Amino acid sequence: MTRPDYRYVPAGALFLAAAVSAGCGSRPESWDQPPSVQFALGLSGSVVVLDEAVHAADLMSIRPGFQMAQSRQPVGESVANVRSSPSGDRVFVLTRGRQPRRMPSDERPKLWVYDGKGSGQLLQTYELSEALNGLEVDPQGRFVVIYAAGDTGSFLDNPNELVIVDTQQPQREATETTLANPVTRTIRSYGGNPQRLTFTPSIQVPTGQRRLLVVECDEYLSILDLDNLDRPEITVKLSESGHVTPAGLTLTEGAPDNPDDSRIAVRAGNANSVFLLTLAPQTKQDAPNDFKIEVNIVGFSTVPSDFAFVNTDGGLRLAVLQPSVHKATLVDPQTSVTTDVDMPASYGRMAVVTRQVGEAPSGGSDVALLWGGASSTASGVAFWSLGKSVGQAYRSIETLPDVAASVTDIVDVPAPHDELKILVPTQLQGGAGRFHVLNLAQRTAAPLQTTATQLQLTVSSDGERAWFYQEGGYNVAQVDLLNLHPTPLVLDRPIWKVFEVATLDSPTPGRALVALHRGGTLGATVLNALVPDEAAATRYAAILQGAY
């Protein structure tokens, strides 16, 4: 018998091994990563969910028929902060990038800008040289300031450095005639850090209209001219002893015909003082800024809790609340003369509601809404008519009897129903907790009772509806803010967050409620927000499923 020829066996084995090894590829690593979602925001026309496990931003918009469309966009590693623009048309995501970087291709810290109106597009990125975690967005949506807020985790960082991004411009290097974008500024420091940043609206300064960035730091205040970022900031030291910490500011343009009396008031969080800063004409020829700051300090008997510039029957005043002594004080910013007004309760917060309130006083004087706030036990709310505050202070406070519970916060309702405010109670008593919808025009407060001990609240951007829900629960309720008709709904999965967004219907966009459910790879329930009916809901599951 002829013996078989085994010469071809090795070649065959090699061929087989090659075929096997060529086929045994692996899938993308992202399939092995369960979702890691910390941030979810509602925007004007979409909901954004950041899935950090796979470095993706999922932007979900609602198409006609309440069908959810999903756009997956890349996002950087290690998300530090997320903010939406006030109008919800964009969302800003600050990432630290890969830390430490080992390869040139390793990602740097970045600011990512996405469209929030429904296109789901990545609009712009700005590469940063340092990993920071603070993010403040201009109420007008133009500027974004990035800074070190608290512990950044960096080996070494400069807490007084601000990175100012003009989001209407792409990233660019500096030239002889233009500044870089983003532009980096280190504000003068007296040993403190930035604690709070405030973008002013366009305000009158002696040489014209300007937008300012006011940086409240420990012990001092810095003011940057956003229209002239090449100019140095103006720094105002609040105390020589170094024990005064700013706790909030308010501003006024003063008299319309006087460009020299715009003022910024700063209250101290740990001193019985308010600092009045007047934006006065510059007197030095070689000064880099075309206005200067004149400081006036007003003393009080206790630490102020809130304040606002108001028009009274005696003229422009700074109204300052001192809840611990049941008192408010009106300060004449020109002369620093004060007038005390006794309060029926220890109101700690105030808001000027003149434009929305009914029976507004004649003569242009203001009406302020007073409530307790988080640090006060004052019950209810009150209207403070400033048209008779100076001359008849004792008759100027009107307590609203409809609200008995203490109010910790007030949620504004956007126009066209900005006469409505939703009063959030300090504590919901089980079975008898009450929110109130305050109608400023009618000066009435209608209760909304709930059996829940904890509720989340979101108000639609068109001011028509409020949505109440309990995180982890199944209940969500719509309240029509026009007639206060509640529509309770029970969803079939536990609720994580609820957002109302505009749909992409054309020509008239509808409104959709998007309830996110956190289990697994995230689920969602989409409802017609105008006629909510859980039986007609569109349900989605595994919306973060898939590789990237």
Partner 1 sequence: MQRRELGLVWATAALVVASSSTAGAQQPNAPPPLTPAASTPTPEPAAPEAPAPASQPAAGSGTAPAPSAAAPAPSAAAPSPAFPPPHVGMPWMPPQPAPAQAAPEQDKPSGPTRDRSRDFWQVELGMRSMWIRGAGYDPFSTNNNLSEASIGGTRALVLLGPVSIAAGLTYESGSKDAQARGAAAKLSVHRAGAVGEARLHVGRDVYGFFKLVPQAVYTRASLQDDSVAAELVQKKWRFGADATIGCGWNAPRTLGAPHTTPEVWLTGELGYGWTMTEDVKMSPDVGESDPSHTIVVNTGPLALRGVMMRLGAAITF
Residues at the site binding partner 1, with contacts judged by CB under 8 A:
1-5, 16, 19-20, 22-28, 30-35, 53, 492-493, 517, 519-523, 535, 537-547
CB 191 within 8 A of CB 218: yes
Burial class (CB in 10 A: 0-12, 13-18, 19+), 222: buried
C-beta of 19 vs 531, nearer to partner 1? 19
CB of 362 to partner 1, least distance (A): 58
DSSP 8-state symbol, 272: S
Taking the C-alpha atoms of residue 51 and residue 450, their distance in angstroms, rounded to an integer, is 34
CB of 534 to partner 1, least distance (A): 8
Strand partners, 385: 367
Taking the C-alpha atoms of residue 314 and residue 359, their distance in angstroms, rounded to an integer, is 19
C-beta of 255 vs 547, nearer to partner 1? 547
CB of 526 to partner 1, least distance (A): 11
- Secondary structure element (H or E) that encloses residue 21, with its range: helix 8-23
C-beta of 31 vs 358, nearer to partner 1? 31
Taking the C-alpha atoms of residue 237 and residue 246, their distance in angstroms, rounded to an integer, is 10
CB of 182 to partner 1, least distance (A): 35
C-beta of 295 vs 536, nearer to partner 1? 536
List all residues 6 or more positions away from 480 whose beta carbon is below 8 Å from its beta carbon: 464, 465, 486, 487
C-beta of 12 vs 86, nearer to partner 1? 12
CB of 521 to partner 1, least distance (A): 5
C-beta of 3 vs 485, nearer to partner 1? 3
Taking the C-alpha atoms of residue 508 and residue 510, their distance in angstroms, rounded to an integer, is 6
C-beta of 28 vs 153, nearer to partner 1? 28
Sign of the CA dihedral with 4 first, then 8, 14, and 16 last? negative
Strands (E), 29-174: 37-42, 47-51, 56-63, 67-74, 79-84, 90-95, 110-115, 122-127, 134-137, 143-147, 161-166
First to last CA, the chain: 61
CA angle, 463 as apex, 445 and 420 as ends, to 5°? 20
C-beta of 415 vs 542, nearer to partner 1? 542
CB of 133 to partner 1, least distance (A): 27
CB of 545 to partner 1, least distance (A): 6
CB of 72 to partner 1, least distance (A): 12
